[in-house]
Structure 1
Amino acid sequence: MTTETTTRLTIAQALERLMRHGMPFRFEAYDGSTAGPEDAAHTVRLLTERGLAYLMSTPGDLGFARAYVAGDLEIDGVHPGDPYAMMQLFRSRLTFRLPPPGELVTIVRSLGLSHLVAPPPPPEEHLPKWRRVLEGLRHSRSRDAEAIHHHYDVSNRFYELVLGPSMAYTCAVYPDTDATLEQAQAEKFDLVCRKLDLRPGQRLLDLGCGWGGMVSHAAEHYGVEALGVTLSREQATWAQESIKARGLDHLAEVRFMDYRDVPERDFDAISSIGLTEHIGVRNYAPYFAFVEDRLKPGGRLLNHCITRDNNRSATSTGAFIDRYVFPDGELAAVGRIASAVHDAGLEVRHSENLREHYAMTLRDWCRNLEAHWDEAVAEAGLGTAKVWGMYMAGSRIAFDVDEIELHQVLAVKPDAEGRSGFPLRPTF
């Protein structure tokens, strides 16, 4: 008999049946089967049964990531430090169909029911959300600290290789299309300083300060007393050493500290560059209330963060990002952030979308990773380096097509008479 329910398919044949518009790449499987054009620019190789089990047990980006990071899936024709072109191809031409029940049964039986059982994930993967309760409730202090440790305490040297000398792990601002990454990062910090209208002798608090780039720039170029706080011990150590080496320790300080524990008040300005993504949407109210409490009347807030393109989408970041990159990360549209800022008693004065700038920043980070690939792998491991290449290239595409955006929101704490202290027109 050769009925639909008894025909046995190869892996390549099964995959072809799931493709809605054909195979946009060459595919080779460990059972010897092949599919797709022989002259394709990219070849995808499924090397092991474990890789097949990853793909079948967790369809979508998480299963693909597991097989790729574990080395069970290889891609020719693309550098793992910058798989942008391949991921563009996947996005534009890789579409799947849901076969009729009988055909689907044939595909699953051909591939093996045993492959529906998920193998242990690669060691680079963080725990799923339901298992993170052992670290505390979502966005509790202990769980936030563990999430930050997972992403930021990889290796300072690894970050130096990817981010470059600025050690700025947030969206740069390119003054023109020919600007270098370092020029763009310096312009980003300077733009924040100008929007905050910083002046010598003022006090700045930088929340989630990373490796201290904003703190150092504000102290060196604007003469302010700058305090930065981070939940990453590795970042704080690196930042303090950099501040001292630059002779700025009389003005700048970085503490290994939860921002909620900062005791000082009456800051002239507060910057938050890339922190809001980590705090959770439900915590916007207490977060911006903290900011309002720490600002003096007339003080300004500059909140810089990744945002959704709408408020209808889920705030979660997706399985791959959640498990491999930003555990517990959440994104909301700029309107939701602006509303939370207003509800805390601050007044929004300006908002700017820098989406295209983040796509360019990610492009340059990927170029750095590709250029320093061997050292990056030696420093952090092959799996981690692969994760970073895939995450940055995929994020670049998301900014390209306006799935996510980057907003700077500038706000002020009015005084008791409602005066903002702002000029009639922006000066930045």
Structure 2
Amino acid sequence: MAGMTVADMVGAFIEDSGKLNVQAFDGSSFGPQDAPLHINVNNSRAVYYMVDHPNDLGLARAYLQGDISSPELVPGDPYEVFKELTALKPYLHKPSPMTLAKIVSSVASHGVRHPEPPSIEGPSRLQRLTEGLVPHSKAGDAATVSYHYDQSNDFYRMFLGPSMTYTCAVFDDVNDSLEKAQSRKLSLVLDKLNLKPGQRLLDIGCGWGSMEIEAAKRGIHVIGVTLAEEQVKWGQEWIKREGLQDLAEVRLMDYRDVPEGDFDAICSLGMMEHVGFKHYPSYFQEIMDKLKPGGLLLNHQITRTKSMDGKSAGQFIDRYIFPDGQLASPGEIETVIHDTGFEVIHQENFRQHYALTLHQWNKNLVANWDRAVKMVGEPKARLWGLYMAGCALNFELNTIQIHQFLCIKPDPQTGTDSYPLKPWWTDVR
């Protein structure tokens, strides 16, 4: 690059701490050869991506295309490289306006280019609006949920494991198997809901049906709803294989369109991330209206640690993982729950457990890497490794958390004194 080399540009943003070495396609290098972390900038497209989007989206585009690489990086699990990069945060600095202008001038001297994003990238928020997909409308939710979940079921099974459970597991020990921890999570939810054989459960955002199978095996009548056709297909076949058709059902349906009511309990595991913060009151009111008096709700969702942080995800998450996804703090969520009229019986943070879950998913992806690449292509396989490892690190850094809220709908006659004086689910842990 005329005027400034790639190494010069890197040096404009980070101090040479001896912990990072960058080798660039123009022959320039930054940092010592014996640094613990090595990053290769393989072509000019990586630079143009970063000039177009000097944030997580630009970096993700370059990485998914192979424009940026590292000999220390495992594509199915880049967690260790992420940790090394996070340790460099104290050495970052903001370049002066003059330096930024020089960087732009150096890049522009080779021509103004806007390289095409990876083919697996989804539309921007503006593009979705142009297509009539209003965030968190029924049509918008159907489109965004389908984008994330209507992938190959076999691909998801490679990293989720046989339980096909795409939410935080619950570990008694860091050495627990993923399947044991996921089974414990399902049992914990059902035990918290205190359901008995013959009672009725609605599962909002049911995924591939693991909760339906577990509930039906206890004699509970359960309806699961999801907006992902591939999940419905898998769940219905699973229920049939288990011979549980009389007790369990999975529907392709928006939770707002479920005609039944008077459920004994409702659970929502990992679905509220799709609801949108402004829609929390109507979400909880919909649940309230579908429960019988004295009925229980178990709401389980990823949360932001701080309420002053923005609710919407960055551009990378929005375009590649959860379009229109939003997260709120546990305090904000609990306030809406109370304002709706529920009593919160119990609240629990599973932040450490989700980090462990994600590490297990990354481990499974690495073990099946060649098959994953053959099935969905290397960019998409890299995407899931990137996403899960990044999430694991953010849970460990306490940037995000995950909470379960156990709530009861008051009975107009008796209030909420219908539940026991002490937790009734503790023995299962």
TM-score with structure 2 setting the length? 0.95
Once residues 350 and 160 of structure 1 are traced to their aligned partners in structure 2, the CA distance between those partners, rounded to angstroms, is 32
Residue 329 (structure 2) aligns with: 333
Secondary structure of 1:425's counterpart equals coil
CA pair 175-116 structure 1, distance change in 2 beyond 3 A: farther
Secondary structure of 2:142's counterpart equals helix
Within the candidate set 278, 286, 289, 1:290 is matched to 286
CA pair 101-413 structure 1, distance change in 2 beyond 3 A: closer
Aligned 8 A contact 1:24 1:36 in 2 = yes
Q: Name the Cα RMSD after superposition.
A: 1.5
Once residues 373 and 43 of structure 2 are traced to their aligned partners in structure 1, the CA distance between those partners, rounded to angstroms, is 23
Aligned 8 A contact 2:301 2:404 in 1 = yes
Please say if 1:202 is aligned against 2:224: no
Residue 224 (structure 2) aligns with: 228
Please say if 1:167 is aligned against 2:161: no
Deviates more, 1:123-132 or 1:261-270: 123-132
Residue 46 (structure 2) aligns with: 51
Residue 81 (structure 2) aligns with: 86
Within the candidate set 378, 382, 387, 2:383 is matched to 387
| 1:42 to partner: Cα distance | 3.5
Deviates more, 1:86-95 or 1:103-112: 103-112
Residue 252 (structure 2) aligns with: 256
* One-letter amino acid of the structure 1 residue matched with residue 169 of structure 2: A
Residue 280 (structure 1) aligns with: 276
* One-letter amino acid of the structure 2 residue matched with residue 403 of structure 1: T
| 1:99 to partner: Cα distance | 2.5
Q: Provide Cα deviations, 1:293-322, integer angstroms capped at 9, x if missing partner.
A: 110111100000001112110001111111
Q: Provide Cα deviations, 1:338-370, integer angstroms capped at 9, x if missing partner.
A: 111122221111100010000000010000111
Q: Provide Cα deviations, 1:235-269, integer angstroms capped at 9, x if missing partner.
A: 01001111111121121110011111100011000
* One-letter amino acid of the structure 1 residue matched with residue 283 of structure 2: Y
Percent of pairs with identical residues: 46
CA pair 116-93 structure 1, distance change in 2 beyond 3 A: farther
Within the candidate set 374, 392, 404, 2:370 is matched to 374
| 1:118 to partner: Cα distance | 3.2
Residue 42 (structure 1) aligns with: 37
Once residues 235 and 390 of structure 1 are traced to their aligned partners in structure 2, the CA distance between those partners, rounded to angstroms, is 23
Residue 9 (structure 1) aligns with: 4
Once residues 98 and 117 of structure 1 are traced to their aligned partners in structure 2, the CA distance between those partners, rounded to angstroms, is 24
| 1:397 to partner: Cα distance | 0.8
Once residues 115 and 317 of structure 1 are traced to their aligned partners in structure 2, the CA distance between those partners, rounded to angstroms, is 32
Q: How many residues align?
A: 421
| 1:65 to partner: Cα distance | 0.1
Residue 398 (structure 2) aligns with: 402
TM-score with structure 1 setting the length? 0.95
Deviates more, 1:129-138 or 1:350-359: 129-138
Aligned 8 A contact 2:359 2:392 in 1 = yes
Residue 63 (structure 1) aligns with: 58
CA pair 184-100 structure 1, distance change in 2 beyond 3 A: same
Please say if 1:157 is aligned against 2:169: no
Q: Provide Cα deviations, 1:102-141, integer angstroms capped at 9, x if missing partner.
A: 3333333333356765322111111111111114211111
Residue 174 (structure 2) aligns with: 177
Aligned 8 A contact 1:88 1:397 in 2 = yes
Aligned 8 A contact 1:128 1:323 in 2 = yes
Once residues 309 and 222 of structure 2 are traced to their aligned partners in structure 1, the CA distance between those partners, rounded to angstroms, is 37
Q: Provide Cα deviations, 1:375-428, integer angstroms capped at 9, x if missing partner.
A: 111111111111111111111111001110000000011111213411011111
| 1:68 to partner: Cα distance | 0.7
* One-letter amino acid of the structure 1 residue matched with residue 70 of structure 2: I
Aligned 8 A contact 1:308 1:333 in 2 = yes
Aligned 8 A contact 1:200 1:224 in 2 = yes
Secondary structure of 1:352's counterpart equals strand
Please say if 1:121 is aligned against 2:105: no
Once residues 86 and 334 of structure 2 are traced to their aligned partners in structure 1, the CA distance between those partners, rounded to angstroms, is 32
| 1:232 to partner: Cα distance | 0.2
Deviates more, 1:258-267 or 1:91-100: 91-100
| 1:20 to partner: Cα distance | 3.0
CA pair 423-127 structure 1, distance change in 2 beyond 3 A: same
Runs of 5+ consecutive residues of structure 1 not aligned to the other structure: 1-6
Runs of 5+ consecutive residues of structure 2 not aligned to the other structure: none
Please say if 1:358 is aligned against 2:363: no
* One-letter amino acid of the structure 2 residue matched with residue 330 of structure 1: Q
* One-letter amino acid of the structure 2 residue matched with residue 305 of structure 1: Q
Deviates more, 1:226-235 or 1:174-183: 174-183
Residue 112 (structure 1) aligns with: 108
Once residues 292 and 115 of structure 1 are traced to their aligned partners in structure 2, the CA distance between those partners, rounded to angstroms, is 58
